[in-house]
Chain A
């Protein structure tokens, strides 16, 4: 039976290759390859430029040597925790729907079907890891001793190893059908081990072994046996996952196969909101049936849109709460570092933009149901505008709390920090609201713009302006170091005013 299946599998793949070949131009294939290569080169060239900075002094280097291994280990442990949780939710494999229905339900070993897919994913992860690793290595070389060549080589080793471990952890959890309780326990133990290593300057936790690969050019920091253990782990984890891959449950696979094809389609349309919504479904994020907090019931509801927003936030699942706070924390840390490396505000702004897409959900949900909006019997624009109140209060409130904590600790630049918190949160919300209001590019837009080149430019502007606005909200940080606090506060006020105008436009634009 199995041999029949193997032959059928081979013949089917050949038939599909042939049929696809008939439909696909070889120029498309070369173009795709060229695009990937171009993207890799851009990452390797651009990332070091963004992350560039002055070489650290002896004291800073000594501090770096002391603390970097522990911090890197904790970051790896946290990432592995997330990876294990993703695996428990069914990631990373997403075969085509018919493959689940016909191949995985056929009497042939499932590992034979899933392993090639897994190997392909692992190969992509390792290649991506090598590109990002090399770029990060070159960026590190600007600040740390040992030279760019050594750091680039280190990145070329560490990047693929980290990617292999992370992919392996996701696939291992999925293949062994680990339950969330078990993955959370393993994740917590890993983080505890990494924290212990960071506190006691030891190399006991496995995450420290893998993290050590990122610090190899620092002479005398990483014992060779630890680095060897890190490499061994990077080989072992994905191997164990590949061996067990046939045990993956079909239930999430079928769910993921449908969502992944929709996600690819939405991404091809550059429809960010749909990508976020599908990503939530892919991560099995469901609103809580019991809200965190229940709003008091009122006989007469005066501000339904305001209450609707808070009802939605009160039902955010824990995963979304953690993700949003992680994005906000990352944005805060990047903004802090951006005082010396200005271009990091790009990443900080993007993190805020993605977080704000979750906050503008009440506004987006109304736009998703235009026919429902028409039945409300009140002005559509008024409903949309009112649905922005809860997002503004929620995100700006969190930003101001963060600003309050920072000013309480530092006691400096109070006006600047508060102005930045306001401008950053408003700009992120304005960017995300504009993105949601504009929606994906429509065929009408393509018809209006005759030249493909101009259409490309229009698309670029349309998709680029919302995140650019979110990044612009952090511009006062860059201005402050060059022209002082007063100029930065003035910029923050202007950006805030522009953001309010964009928020109004997004709501008044209607459906």
Chain B
């Protein structure tokens, strides 16, 4: 377990996001280096999804700065370093699982995408359904497809919002393994979750409370207790 060191892969300074009069994030700071498995936790409405959305370049910050590998979030070089999976699986109705993987891998310039893709969908038990359209899938299978599409990209920073929702225990375990392997391979993986199980696998924990940093460090028993009690 090592502390994040400069040069930071993700560098967030004085980030604020307000919706009308409500501050979703307030003067938030965070620095993360490479190779971490980070749990982003906090109660409902704490600002987790907003933070991930801003890092992904989907949401405009009100003020402050987010740099990914030294590039401003949302810019072309920052997007090349990033992979994002939202809390709601969004997929094309007219592309099969395999076509999704091929397409997104190609968009991100992945050279050898077929072997890892096959491995990914095998882990998620989608191999037999690779040629099927996700529009015919259940919520859980769509979630697994969206995660596979996010994880097929060669990204230095992987951010995933509530990935365990809708997955059965076997799929949750497979996802944990995949995310841990990704972090071990050098990517930083940030996972927003309410799942206490993930905290025991993460090497870093960021806890938000009402849009402000509550904890930034290795996961502790106190944080786990807070998460389990729902405080």
Contact = CB atoms under 8 A, between A and B. Distances in A.
Interface in B83-126: 84, 86, 90-92, 94-96, 99, 103-104, 106-109
Interface string B120-151: 00000000000001000000000000000100
A9 B107 contact: yes
A8 B20 contact: no
For A5, A23, A289, the residue with the greatest tally of chain B CB atoms inside 10 Å of its CB is: A5
Contacts of A36: none
Interface in B48-91: 53, 56-60, 74, 76-77, 79-80, 82, 84, 86, 90-91
Contacts of A289: 20-21
Interface stretch (A103-111, A153-161, A262-270): A103-111
A107 B80 contact: yes
Interface of A: 1, 4-5, 7-9, 11-12, 15-16, 19-20, 23, 96-98, 100-103, 105-109, 177, 249-251, 254, 286, 289
Given A12-B95, A19-B94, A4 B106 contact: yes
B79 A15 contact: no
B109 A251 contact: no
A101 B90 contact: yes
Nearest to A15: B99
Contacts of A109: 76
15 contacts: A1-B80, A9-B107, A12-B95, A12-B99, A12-B103, A15-B103, A16-B95, A19-B95, A105-B58, A105-B79, A106-B104, A107-B79, A108-B76, A250-B57, A289-B21
A97 B79 contact: no
A442 B220 CA distance: 54
Contacts of B79: 105-107
Contact of A5 (B20, B84, B90, B109): B109
Contacts, number: 80
For B20, B84, B107, B149, the residue with the greatest tally of chain A CB atoms inside 10 Å of its CB is: B107
Interface residues of B, number: 31
A365 to B, nearest CB: 21
A351 B104 CA distance: 46
Nearest to B22: A289
A15 B99 CA distance: 8
A4 B58 contact: no
Nearest to A286: B20
Contacts of B80: 1, 107
Contact of A251 (B59, B86, B91): B59
A103 B21 contact: no
A107 B109 CA distance: 9
B208 to A, nearest CB: 20
Given A19-B94, A101-B86, A105-B84, A251 B58 contact: yes
A13 B149 CA distance: 17
A15 B90 CA distance: 18
